[in-house]
């Protein structure tokens, strides 16, 4: 190898690494918007009760374009997956952020409220229809007769009537945004791999891409918990394999 080539190699290597890094950054920006990134972190820090980290993420969410009503809806939605106490503490933290910003002259955009529900059908049937939309299937007849639904019909009723009707019917957030909240909560809590698989699958059905799901795991890894992010990787990998999206 000539001296000239030896001298050029370090520069070629550095140039190649910079191009790879730039390409990675561009790709990441294309996968998740700033608003989507903040949906992930707000959901995760509320779910695991890290209010000190939640506070600046709420500020960043507002500054990225999330409205007050959208963040409220995120915090309300996630109670179905991590409980009222976490949701209420998140809402209290949000109120503090808004009051502090208002005191400095910042008036945040509240955005639109949910459209009133005019569907007068039985709430269980409405919830069943919404779940079927998320699953990409036709609504099944009757009620489930196996698994937890047969063992505990009450919770099956609550799931359909409250989670998939009362919450998912509210159009402040899209189905995709609600699934993004749900997946973020399930990842950050850990130990919920079957539910995580199910909701990652629903996410794909409502337009979230595999790359965006990978981006969400990356955010959990960097900002929340490496352990929980590591546990989410095989769940997504097996799901994508089952759908023929990767080998």
Cα–Cα distance, 143 to 126 (Å, whole number): 13
Residue 21 has pLDDT above 50, yes or no: no
Q: For 191-236, what is each residue's pLDDT tens digit?
A: 999 999 999 999 999 999 999 999 999 999 999 999 999 999 999 9
Average pLDDT estimate for 177-193: 97
Residue 38 has pLDDT above 60, yes or no: yes
CA distances from 236 to 110, 129, 217 (A): 35, 26, 9
Burial 12-42 (b: 16+ CB within 10 A, else e): eeeeeeeeeeeeeeeeeeebbeeebbbbbbb
Question: Nearest 5°: CA angle at 217, between 216 and 223?
Answer: 85
**Global pTM?**
0.86
Confidence of residue 142 (pLDDT cuts 50, 70, 90): confident
Q: Mean pLDDT over all residues of the chain?
A: 90
């Amino acid at each position: 190898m000539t001296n000239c080539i030896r001298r050029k190699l370090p520069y070629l290597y550095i140039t190649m690494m910079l191009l790879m890094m730039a390409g990675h950054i561009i790709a990441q920006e294309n996968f998740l918007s700033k608003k989507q990134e903040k949906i992930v972190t707000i959901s995760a820090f509320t779910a695991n009760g890290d209010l000190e980290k939640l506070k600046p993420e709420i500020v960043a969410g507002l500054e990225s374009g999330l409205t007050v009503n959208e963040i409220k809806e995120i915090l309300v939605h996630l109670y179905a997956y991590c409980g009222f106490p976490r949701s209420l503490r998140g809402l209290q933290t949000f109120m503090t952020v808004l009051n502090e910003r208002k005191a400095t002259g910042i008036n945040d955009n509240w955005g639109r409220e949910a459209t009133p529900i005019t569907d007068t059908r039985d709430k269980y049937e409405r919830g069943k229809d919404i779940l079927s939309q998320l699953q990409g299937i036709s609504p099944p007849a009757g009620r489930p007769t196996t698994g937890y639904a047969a063992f505990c019909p009450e919770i099956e009723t609550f799931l359909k009537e409250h989670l998939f009707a009362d919450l998912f019917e509210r159009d402040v957030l899209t189905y995709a945004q609600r699934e993004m909240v749900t997946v973020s909560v399930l990842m950050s809590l850990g130990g919920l791999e079957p539910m995580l698989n199910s909701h990652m699958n629903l996410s794909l059905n409502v337009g979230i891409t595999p790359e965006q799901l990978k981006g969400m795991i990356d955010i959990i890894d960097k900002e929340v918990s490496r352990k929980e992010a590591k546990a989410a990787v095989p769940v997504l990998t097996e799901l994508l394999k089952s759908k023929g999206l990767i080998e």
